[in-house]
Amino acid sequence: MGEPPHRIELPDIPEAVAAPKSARSIQLVWLIPLTAVLIGGWIAVKTILERGPTITISFKTGEGLEAGKTKIKYKDIEIGLINSVALAPDRNRVVATAQLEKDAETFLVEDTRFWAVRPQVTASGVSGLSTLLSGPFIAVDPGKSTQKRREFVALDVPPIVTREEPGRAFVLRAADLGSHDVGVPVFFRRLPVGEVVERELDKDGKGVSIKVFVRAPYDQYVTTNTRFWSASGIDVSLEATGIQVQTESLVSILIGGIAFQTRPDAEVGPAADANHVFQLFRTRAEAMRRPDLDVVHLVFVFKESVRGLAVGAPVEFRGVNVGEVIRIGVELDPLTFTMTQPVEAYFYPGRMRVQARDPAKLPPLPKTQAEWEKRAQVFVEKGMRGQLRTGSLVTGQKYVALDIFPDAPKVKLGSSKTPIEIPTMPGGFEEMEAAVASILKKLDKVQYEQIGADVRKAMATLDEVLKSADRLVQRLDAELVGETRSTLQAARAAIERAERSMLAADAPLQQDARDALRELSRAAEALRALADYLERHPESLIRGKQEQP
Amino acid sequence: MSRAPATAASMGLVVCHACGLLSRTGPHAHDACCPRCGARVHRRKPDSVSRTWALLIAAMVLYIPANVLPMMYTGSLFGTQSDTIMSGVIYFWTSGSWYLALIIFFASIMVPMLKMIALVLLLVTVQRRLRWQPVQRTRLYRLVEVVGRWSMLDIFVVAIIVALVQLQALATILPGPGAIAFGGVVVLTMFSAMSFDPRLIWDPMSEEHGRAPA
């Protein structure tokens, strides 16, 4: 192998055949990188073009938020992804940076709301169960503003109602929140039609504003005349009329609720605007009550105990509720040192507006305090008095009865006082109590021992009398038998004689007797007719017999 | 100095790749055909360097989407998730399966990248006709050829999982665009390595040796 190989002669190696020269000057292989560049470039351009806006959302807590995992969803469609989660510089909040899709640009306005959806268990239901395993996602409620915005503050609690839900929100004003927390249902004729979406203490701390959302189409039933009332739980009230139990539904028993309805006797009125302010009544009865436009402040000064009378107790005029007790107190007269119980009450004259045959002749309602006083004076002179009465013997609840006592002792009203004083009468029960007491007192005075001695004496006397009577009877027995026999014989003879003269059919006595009987029966008939007439027309006793029409 | 060993090229000889017949070529070696079977014969692979470059550049371009775009979409009851190669590696690493993470990292990220770097190195040295470490470079080339197919591991895993996990609503796995790009990278680098003619590494050596005595 020492010979260099290039010297080897290989004579039988054939010559390669010349091939036709290729006309292609560009090598096709370069199409491959070109295609790759085109595809890569297209993907890159597409990604850049599809790249949506980047926003920051600040959360109260970063619970469950994961960079690259937590999605932003709208109607369960993914519109973005959390890129990073970091603490805010002041360490108060967690700031998440999110990359949104291109077409999510329209979401980013001033009033758009973001919140984290986590599993939630409340009295009214369970929500967000799917996030138990997949982790929370961020939900969006797109705003309507046109002001653009890139930095958002997430809601701490998910909103009950999102903006795109049709319906209207209304504001209810109440003295306290009661059990109307966010999420509490709103009922209309026992149908759940909405929820409490917000509650907020007034700036001055004197009341609470409750925002309720009523879903369409039920919101059309909320008119300016609609009354809202609290349907919280079971409403048990102990009143003079007995025990009242009111409830809306089982749910409302558990978590409370608000109901609304338009007063049946009121006109329907125009539909209320969104955010119209209503008063929240405590009970349905209160809400349905006719609004009392005129209020007269009265005071009843009672001398007896007012136990059983409560603030809110009714003032009734012959059984018609015309007012309510607002204050009960004790007053000391410094001159005479007598104590009285003034009971102040509101009297609603509107409830007493009677149907007059001729409304034109009805005197107009007084306008001023002085006029009201004058009007009260008229009634007091007619005998109007206040009286404390027991409404229910079971509960012992009392009410103030207004009534006219024509024979009430005349009372002179004190000059111009506010409130107007209405004199009082001892109540029915009190009168009875007093009578029973006086009877008992009299009974107490009876000398039972003396009576007993007298009775015994009388018994002894009676015994003696009976004994002498016995003796008398014995003597009569002995002496009278003979005498009686002869008398009987004489009597029989007399009867036989009389029989012969009187009982014969043609005896004159018989005839007379028959006539007399006939006369008597006629008289009886006339008497019956008179009695009949009198029964039908008792007034004829006084006015005499009327001519028949 | 010993003379450079004789090569078929230096003696104007070519062998047909199709039938194995040795034939002599004239000065226009690129336009020759085998006298027996008619297949094209050439001393060196025609346009080897430029073809290799073209395929390599295409592979490099596709390498970017292969790593950026999601490889796999995993849909389950609790939402859809898309994973790129790197996110899978990070997932395995953080969840404790670091050996799995390393396998995926080497097979799917390092190997294609190193392969491309190696091919660039070979091409540059060949074009510059450097005589630097020809034995090592040839060894590197052989390694590139052998190791290239293992990068397809990822694609196979995705293909098998996609076929297996189709439980409709419960769990669904779909291949992502990244898988296609990645497959493209692997295939293109393999073609690129194939189109490279390792004899070119040695050509400068014989030239040098042949020229020196002249």
B119 touches chain A (CB under 8 A): no
- Chain B contact probe: residue of A24, A39, A82 with most B CBs at under 10 A: A39
Lowest-pLDDT choice from A53-62, A268-277, A445-454: A268-277
- pLDDT higher than threshold 80 for residue B8: no
Calculate what percentage of chain B has a pLDDT beyond 70: 90
Option in A4, A27, A30 nearest B6 (CB): A4
Among A74, A133, A70, A135, smallest CA distance to A96 is for A70
DSSP class per residue in B133-155: -HHHHHHHHHHHHHHHGGGGHHH
The Cα of A221 is separated from the nearest Cα of chain B by a number of Å equal to: 41
Using a 10 angstrom Cβ sphere, with 0-12 exposed, 13-18 middle and 19 or more buried, the burial of residue A230 is buried
Angle between helices B111-127 and B177-195 (to 10 degrees): 30
Option in B3, B34, B184 nearest A4 (CB): B3
Tell me if A157 sits within 8 A of A182, measured CB to CB: yes
Residue A525: what pLDDT? 93
Residue A425: what pLDDT? 80
Using a 10 angstrom Cβ sphere, with 0-12 exposed, 13-18 middle and 19 or more buried, the burial of residue A546 is exposed
> Which strands sit side by side in the sheet containing A77-87, from one edge to the other?
A113-117, A137-141, A71-74, A77-87, A94-101, A51-59, A151-153
Which residue of chain B comes nearest to A134, CA vs CA?
B78
Distance, C-alpha B151 to centroid of its chain: 10
| Residues B24, A15: C-beta atoms closer than 8 Å | yes
- pLDDT higher than threshold 60 for residue B209: no
B55 touches chain A (CB under 8 A): yes
Lowest-pLDDT choice from A310-314, A339-343, A377-381, B167-171: B167-171
- pLDDT higher than threshold 70 for residue A124: no
CB atoms near residue A529 (< 10 Å): 9
A2 touches chain B (CB under 8 A): no
Residue B71: what pLDDT? 85
pTM of the model: 0.49
| Residues B78, A35: C-beta atoms closer than 8 Å | no
Calculate what percentage of chain A has a pLDDT beyond 90: 6
Position B155 confidence tier, pLDDT thresholds 50, 70, 90: confident
- pLDDT higher than threshold 90 for residue A519: yes
pLDDT in tens, A132-171: 777 788 888 888 888 888 888 888 877 777 777 888 888 8
Q: What is the mean pLDDT of residues A121-128?
A: 70
DSSP H stretches of helix in A190-283: 250-255
B21 touches chain A (CB under 8 A): yes
Residue identified by tokens 């001729």 is: A358
Instruction: Please give the Cα distance from A547 to A124 (Å, whole number).
Output: 79
User: Phi/psi at A476 (nearest 5 deg)?
Assistant: -60, -45
- pLDDT higher than threshold 70 for residue B79: no
pLDDT in tens, A302-354: 888 888 888 888 888 888 888 888 888 888 888 888 888 888 888 887 777 66
Q: What is the mean pLDDT of residues B49-69?
A: 88
Residue A467: what pLDDT? 92
Option in B10, B22, B64 nearest A40 (CB): B64
- pLDDT higher than threshold 60 for residue A464: yes
Residue B24: what pLDDT? 79
| Residues B31, A21: C-beta atoms closer than 8 Å | yes
The Cα of A97 is separated from the nearest Cα of chain B by a number of Å equal to: 19
Option in A6, A14, A32 nearest B55 (CB): A32
Q: Looking at beta carbons, which residues of chain A come within 8 Å of B38?
A: 17
ipTM over 0.90: no
Instruction: Retrieve residue A393's tokens.
Output: 């013997």
Residue A46: what pLDDT? 84
Residue with more model confidence, B79 or A297? A297
Which residue of chain B comes nearest to A10, CA vs CA?
B24
Instruction: Retrieve residue B16's tokens.
Output: 């047909």
Q: What is the mean pLDDT of residues A180-194?
A: 84
Residue A359: what pLDDT? 63
A5 touches chain B (CB under 8 A): yes
Q: What is the mean pLDDT of residues A376-396?
A: 81
pLDDT in tens, A404-429: 888 777 776 665 567 788 888 877 66
Residue A63: what pLDDT? 83
Residue with more model confidence, A157 or A292? A157
| Residues A36, B22: C-beta atoms closer than 8 Å | no
A17 touches chain B (CB under 8 A): yes
Instruction: Please give the Cα distance from B42 to B14 (Å, whole number).
Output: 6
Instruction: Please give the Cα distance from A422 to B109 (Å, whole number).
Output: 101
Residue with more model confidence, A472 or B211? A472
Calculate what percentage of chain A has a pLDDT beyond 70: 86
Total CB pairs under 8 A between chain A and B:
107
Which residue of chain B comes nearest to A71, CA vs CA?
B79
Residues in chain A: 549
